[in-house]
Structure 1
Amino acid sequence: MHVIGAGMAGLACAVEAVRDGWAVTVHDSAPRAGGRCRSYHDPALDRVLDNGSHLMLSANTETRRLLETTGGWSRVVEVTPAVFAFHDLRDGTAFSVRPNAGPLPWWIFTAGRRAPGSTAMDHLSALWRLFRASAGASVADALAGPLYDRVWYPIAEAVMNTAPAEACATSFRAVIRDSLLRGEPACRPWLFPEGLDAALVAPTVAWLEAHGAEVRLTDPVKGLETKDGRIAALRTRSGPVALAPGDVAVSALPAFTVGRLLPDLAPDGLETRAILNAHFRLPAPVNLPPPGFLGLIGGQAHWLFVRGDVLSVTVSAADALAAHTDDEVAARLWADVVRVPAFSHFGNPPPPSRVVRERRATLAHTPGIDTRRPGPRTGLGNLLLAGDWTATGYPCTVEGAVRSGVTAARTARTIAALHGPVE
């Protein structure tokens, strides 16, 4: 099997394929694996940064299985019991949402476990509306009410990377179904104290190579040669690579680049949204209380993550903010940060920072877009698709990417059964 792309979809596909007995080669144009889950040393801040902060939960079962397979799980800290802390910049209110174990959500009947000013009935009625929402309903349509500003808006925007007024309610409820409705054990946040690469990427690459797979970096696949409705060869920087009769190729590239291999693969009508992260090197470390990250309400900064003396600020659906200069972005976000008591003593001006823009980070998860997300099969018999943008049943998340890779590898089993084992 040849996997084109060493992001999380491609790496997950490769691991699953190796477990199935395939000889696997992974091709990528970048010098490092990981795609959008990459870590790097920033010379200006003299710190190792993740390109962006990814909030994963214990509901992410395929990602957990990947981490346990490769040994990366030992580099993850799971926050137990689950808690989500928020700070409302509009009035200074600090609160946390703390679900309970078990399928019965008794936590909503305890004032200290839910958003201030809300009632148990507010929660029940919101979930009732969400699970009755039509295919064309937005998150705002389904969840407008007392909980919207302080709970549903920040969570939905982070999950969907799409403004809740235009985000698809039915896509969002798939995440709520697998997490909040399964109780506290499915809601535990994962922290990556050594960075995403240390947990997700480096152990996976090491596992693949230890199990005989080849990971070819800085060796992009520039084109595909087809014959009789199948991929006959890959055109790579290092030369052509012929595919055996029973071999399979998997394109695990982003939606906006997959059409470069073959124009017919280019997805139609898939809009994207940006994610912006600003990393600040603080004058001194700050320890946030559990869970170690903080959701902000009412400002331009959405989520704060602290690792040592580095504060990472994440902004979802950030197309408008991403148009500003780095200095303007840093100033705007830092103005929100210092309104939080834990950071107020730092004052102005902002400390040294690095702004990272992912201008096409995810799909715009608007109503109807899921009908345009392709499955793993293509019009070519031995070419499959993977990627968080494909039809995973989830928004574009790390879990969605991993699921897509696993699905592609399992689909390859059927193809191999039809054509016999690879020689």
Structure 2
Amino acid sequence: MTYDSLRSSHTSPQQDPRRQSAVVIGGGLAGITAALELADAGVRVTLLEGRPRLGGLAFSFQRGDLTVDNGQHVYLRCCTGYRWFLDRVRGAELAPLQDRLDVPVLDVGDPRGPRLGRLRRTALPVPLHLAASLATYPHLSLAERASVGRAALALKGLDPADPKLDDIDFAGWLARHGQSQRTIEALWDLVGVATLNATAPHASLGLAAKVFKTGLLSEPGAADIGWAHVPLGDLHDTLARKALDEAGVRTELRTKADSVSRTDEGRWAVEVEGERIEADAVVLAVPQREAHGLLPEGALDEPDLLLEIGVAPILNVHVIYDRKVLRQPFFAALGTPVQWVFDRTEASGLTGGGQYLAVSQSDAGDEIDAPVARLRERYLPELERLLPAARGAGVRDFFVTRERTATFAPAPGVGRLRPGPRTRAPGLCLAGAWTDTGWPATMEGAVRSGLGAAGAALSALGRPYEIPPLEAA
């Protein structure tokens, strides 16, 4: 499904006898998506972003001659919302997917010595597509591999939307279905920490079921991995801004909304420094605490529930070597503090024969505030354990990026705290990966929230709207 094939379902501005207006507050993926959908439907849109760039928490910055992503972001083939977004901003070719899922997993904690395994799929139907990979996965015993299949079948029978699952922790459910601590560490958390930003004991079964059912148990290719081969800013800022301009959206950067209120005429007023913007609808596409501060009284029955949604950090360690030390585009690690390592050499613009590795550390609460010197002392030796070629290689640069509020915490019970896109105030809608999308805090969830908010806003404006058929994308 392409963006061009969806355009015909929208009303163009020229066909609209009265240009209704909307303000979208927040220029992350959720806000960009909402703004584009509203504009495509013929609404006059103003997008406000307090930062000097778009992209939210998936952005790039300059460090000398390098273009650095604040963190490594990936998506899966099943992430049809984010794929739609890439197509909409004409950036799909810059963030390609693997032909088939293939994840090298290196265990340096094995007493027999470092061992390399792979999680990869075949073209066989689900669940046989992973059977051969699991049968030879060296990081689990024969009995543990057999237990994985039984747990996967039980997981496949769950409904992620069942509210009862939200109160159950994933680790407890896995243990009750025969999963050893080693199996959780070497398989379930290997995937879960990267997608949920939490280990199994701290993750809602409902969200975990969504991840594993959709990614591994829906279609053979659902978990094929994609990532940007250019800086994220090229996609989420440069191309997104171009798409917004072409759609007629007024985009204001370095512009923070101070308040949102109802006018005497029943419209909305957004106050920014030096300007009052009136509109027929408003989308709050900002983090939950900021949304709580902007919500007018009565917009939600229990607005303070937003403050109960926890946050989880992500730490990224960036190492520039003077030579090539990794031949794979990425790998996952066991038996070490290192979680996932990605080669960002080409995307960053690094030249001169060196290599740029980004170490992505989810659920990083224990280290998010650690000094750079301490992180250097810890991670450089670990990378040498994992990559023999790094031993003796010169380190040109070592730095870290920290996102202390990278995602909402997917803890058991979080589902009851996440509001949908509609509020009790007509025309005021919510967007953000923290809203009730059914997904964890991912780029996919952010895009889907933006589509949902645009649909809710258009409905409040009395405009027909159908969310793009993402499941068929």
User: Normalization by structure 1: what TM-score?
Assistant: 0.91
Cα distance in 2 for partners of 1:99, 1:166 equals 28
Give the alignment partner of residue 385 of structure 2, picking from 335, 339, 342. 339
Aligned match of 1:306: 343
Is the contact between residue 421 and residue 452 of structure 2 (CA under 8 Å) also seen in structure 1? yes
Aligned to 1:88: 107
Alpha carbons of 1:18 and 1:328: their partners in 2 closer, same or farther (altered >3 Å)? same
**Is 1:166–2:202 an aligned residue pair?**
yes
The answer as to whether partners of 2:326 and 2:387 remain within 8 angstroms in 1 is no
- Judge conservation of contact 1:99–1:113 (CA < 8 Å) in 2: no
Partner of 2:312: 273
Find the residue that maps to 2:226 and give its secondary structure: strand
Change (3 A) 1:185 1:251: same
Unpaired segments ≥5 residues, structure 1: none
Aligned residue identity for 2:41: D
Query: Structure 1 193/2 Cα, relative in aligned 2: closer, same or farther at 3 Å?
Result: same
Match of 2:236 among 195, 200, 204: 200
The 3 A distance-change label for structure 1 pair 35 and 340 is: same
How far apart, in 2, do the equivalents of 1:346 and 1:373 lie?
49
Percent identity at matched positions?
27
Q: Deviations over 1:185-243 (max 9, x none)?
A: 21111121212122333212101101211111011111112246965311012311122
Q: Structure 2 vs 1, CA of residues 218 and 414 (structure 1 numbering), >3 Å: closer, same or farther?
A: same
Secondary structure of residue in 2 paired with 1:154: helix
Deviates more, 1:229-238 or 1:90-99: 229-238
3-state DSSP of counterpart to 1:336: helix
Amino acid at match of 1:365: P
* Matched residue, 1:326: 372
Q: Which amino acid aligns with 1:312?
A: A
1:52-92: per-residue Cα shift (whole Å, max 9, x none)?
A: 11121111001111111211112112111211111112121
Distance 1:74 1:296, change over 3 A: same
Determine if contact 2:120/2:133 at 8 Å carries over to the other structure.
no
RMSD: 2.2
Mapped contact 2:32–2:240 kept (Cα < 8 A): yes
> What's the CA shift for 1:268?
3.4
**Corresponding residue number in structure 1 for 2:56:** 35
* Larger deviation, residues 5-14 vs 330-339: 330-339
Quote the Cα distance in structure 1 between the aligned partners of 2:358 and 2:261.
43
Structure 2, unmatched stretches of 5+, are: 1-21, 159-163, 298-302, 346-354, 465-473
Please report the TM-score for the alignment, with normalisation by the length of structure 2: 0.82
Give the 3 Å change call, closer, same or farther, for CA 390–32 of structure 1 in structure 2.
same
Structure 2 matches for 1:121-200, cutoff 5 A?
Answer: 121-131=146-156, 135=165, 136-143=167-174, 144-145=179-180, 147-200=183-236
Q: Secondary structure of 2:461's match? A: helix
Q: 1:363 to 1:219 in 2, by over 3 A?
A: same
Partner of 1:173, secondary structure, is: helix
Query: Superposition pairs for residues 4-403 of structure 1, below 5 Å?
Result: 4-43=25-64, 46-91=65-110, 92-110=114-132, 114-116=136-138, 117-119=140-142, 121-131=146-156, 135=165, 136-143=167-174, 144-145=179-180, 147-227=183-263, 232-243=268-279, 247-262=280-295, 265=303, 267-289=306-328, 292-308=329-345, 309-341=355-387, 343-346=389-392, 351-403=396-448
Aligned residues: 411
Query: C-alpha deviations, 1:90-128, integer Å up to 9, x for none?
Result: 121111101223533224442577522345532221213
**Counterpart residue identity of residue 85, structure 2:** L
Structure 1 residue 15, shift from structure 2 partner: 1.6
Deviates more, 1:145-154 or 1:102-111: 102-111
Distance apart, 1:184 and its partner CA = 3.5
> Does the CA-based 8 Å contact 1:115-1:150 persist in structure 2?
no
**Change beyond 3 A, Cα 1:385–1:154:** same
